[in-house]
Amino acid sequence: MRILGIIDIGSNSMRLVIVQLTDDNSYRIIDDVKHSVRLGKDILPNGNLHPIRMQRAIETLQFYKTLCDAIQTDQIIVVATEAIRKAANQKEFLELVYSLTGLAVRVLEGEEEAYYDYFSVANVFAMSENLIMDIGGASTELIWMKDRKVRNMASLPFGTISISEQLNQAAGNIYEKEKTVTNSLIHTFHQLGWLPHGKTLIGIGGSFRNIAKIDKKRCAYPLELSHNYYLPGERLQDIHQLIMTTPAGRRKDIRGLSSERADIIWGATTAINALLMYCGISDIYISGYGLREGIIYEEILHDLNPVEDVLDYSINNLMSNISLNKKHAFHVWQLSRSLFEQLGSVHELNTSTVNVLKTAALLHDSGISISYYDHHLHSFYIILNSQINGLSQQELLMAAYTAASHRKNKVKVDPAHKGLLREQEINTIRKLGVILRIAESLDRRMNDNINAVDCLIEQEVVTLKLTSKSTHELEAKETMEISAAFLKEFGRRLHII
């Protein structure tokens, strides 16, 4: 095991993430700190970083170094992006940082920054193709990912700070300013010559996450999760219009908008909206991961190939972090999957829901890491709040409710969640919950006593024929306690032989 500190010196924000890496290729974030330093703002006429901004950056780095020392990190990786990349006094600044903190800074080339963005997305989204946009303070990275590999990428020398300054300096009213800057952005996009049309956009960075937060407030979204949040293109355009038409001094009053970004958010929405128009994009997903996580995955995976299955890796990572009984969890999943496949004509659920069942089955006992008592309810919280990748937010919520159902006939859905879960999804949760309860009952001894289950389906009865290593009266008795719930959800009596 080793502890790694990763410091990202961005043009707008500086951030430290401290991660614990283990020998089984799992990892756990143990601290995450962010400061808005605006190193890319107030650049001097000669191209030098502003002395006051440099001083704030060094003070922040000293704080980060102290924190890393207190946690006893084995290594600190420090990377810097566009503001330092193009600074005329880059060499002097880096030497000053090293003399005052002992930290050696690696200045990333634009394509290196874009690659780390890609590598984070490839390991946390279960999509084979998309367009990735990371809009920072002074640069914007665009990556076309196809078949989970980089098809093309570019780093453009503008970001939220510089675009906001262009908007403020452009002539005319707000609409004329926006048109002038948008035309310039579209011209730059066109010059790339490879941007795909009509692809899903993955948005990286604090501006995207803040835009998602504004959207959540506007539509009363019930979850606080940011990763994999779905934002339709037309809602992004609505938010862009809201920000553009709100006087600068009142933007901080927009619900969900961070006061730290109130003066630069127009630059972000202008760039994103221009890309949507040029590429014909209608679907946006927000990433909770970025450059730092790309570095983490590079440290874990070494060969630079993304994980084979995003969901499987994410679940296994969580299981390792909470020391879950993997043998029992995987056997319950094996039994659940067998029941789900054999009972297809009975439950009539879409096969895509199998990943919801997989997540619930493998993590149904995760709540024991908090307390055994009411652990099914603790499992709900853990599944919903542990950044499990590879599921939509709706699927993640369904998995949490399914896992919470493994000890009771029925778990009541929070009224706040009913905007995200329609009656169809609630019925799916109930059916999957019954399947999971049966599977767990069949492994009640936690010793794989039940090797296999064969389902014999008749008009009014489903018979489970159990194959076991030894007698299975105990498992059969526990399973029959679920017969009333089985009859209610599937309209058939349950019989076991």
Sequence ranges of the chain with CATH classification 3.30.420.40: 2-107
The CATH code that applies to domain 111-290 is 3.30.420.150
Report the candidate in 37, 128, 134, 43 with the shortest Cα–Cα distance to residue 90.
43
φ/ψ of 289, rounded to 5, equals -120, 160
pTM, full prediction: 0.94
Strand locations in 273-377 (E):
283-286
The span from the CA of 470 to the CA of 472, in Å, is 6
Sort residue 148 into left (φ over 0), alpha (ψ -120 to 50) or beta: left
Rounded distance, CA 17 to CA 31, Å? 6
CA pair distance 335, 341, nearest whole angstrom: 10
Q: Where in the chain is the domain with CATH 1.10.3210.10?
A: 310-496
The CATH number of 2-107 is which of 1.10.630.10, 3.40.50.920, 3.30.420.40, 3.40.50.2020? 3.30.420.40
Residue 75 φ/ψ, nearest 5 degrees: -155, 145
Q: How far apart are CA 212 and CA 285, in angstroms?
A: 9
List the one residue out of 347, 477, 452 whose CA is nearest residue 402.
347
**Residue whose pair of structure tokens reads 């995450």 in the numeric block:** 32
Q: Residue by residue, what is the 3-state secondary structure of 218-236?
A: HHCCCCCCCCCEEEEHHHH
- Reference 60, options 14, 124, 100; nearest CA is 14
| Pairwise CA distance, residues 359 & 406, whole Å | 13
Tell me what pLDDT residue 448 has: 94
Q: How far apart are CA 363 and CA 320, in angstroms?
A: 11
DSSP helix/strand/coil, 339:
helix
| Nearest one of 158, 175, 161, 169 to 275, comparing CA atoms | 158
Asked if residue 143 lies in contact with residue 114, where contact means CB atoms within 8 angstroms, the answer is: yes
CA 367/CA 374 separation, integer angstroms: 8
Question: What is the reported pLDDT for 278?
Answer: 98
SS (H, E, C) 380-401: HHHHHHCCCCCCCHHHHHHHHH
User: 367 with 380: CB under 8 angstroms?
Assistant: yes
Q: Where in the chain is the domain with CATH 3.30.420.150?
A: 111-290
The 3-state DSSP class for residue 28 equals strand
Gap between the Cα atoms of 307 and 366, Å rounded? 23
d(CA 27, CA 218): 35
Q: What per-residue confidence (pLDDT) applies to 407? A: 82
* 25 neighbors 55 (Cβ within 8 angstroms): no
CA distance 362 to 366: 8
Residue tagged 């993304």 (tokens)? 306
Say if residues 433 and 238 touch (Cβ distance below 8 Å): no
Q: Residue 435: which of 360, 495, 329, 380 has the closest Cα?
A: 360
State the pLDDT at residue 409: 62
- What architecture is domain 310-496? Orthogonal Bundle (1.10)
State whether residue 251 is helix, strand or coil. Answer: helix
The full length of the chain comes to 497
C-beta atoms surrounding 238 within 10 Å? 14
90, containing H or E segment:
helix 90-101
How does pLDDT run along the chain (497 residues), one tens digit per residue?
Answer: 999 999 999 999 999 999 999 999 999 999 999 999 999 999 999 999 999 999 999 999 999 999 999 999 999 999 999 999 999 999 999 999 999 999 999 999 999 999 999 999 999 999 999 999 999 999 999 999 999 999 999 999 999 999 999 999 999 999 999 999 999 999 999 999 999 999 999 999 999 999 999 999 999 999 999 999 999 999 999 999 999 999 999 999 999 999 999 999 999 999 999 999 999 999 999 999 999 999 999 999 987 899 999 999 999 999 999 999 999 999 999 999 999 999 999 999 999 999 999 999 999 999 999 999 999 999 999 999 998 999 999 999 999 999 999 887 677 899 999 999 999 999 999 999 999 999 999 999 999 999 999 999 999 999 999 999 999 999 999 999 999 999 999 999 999 99
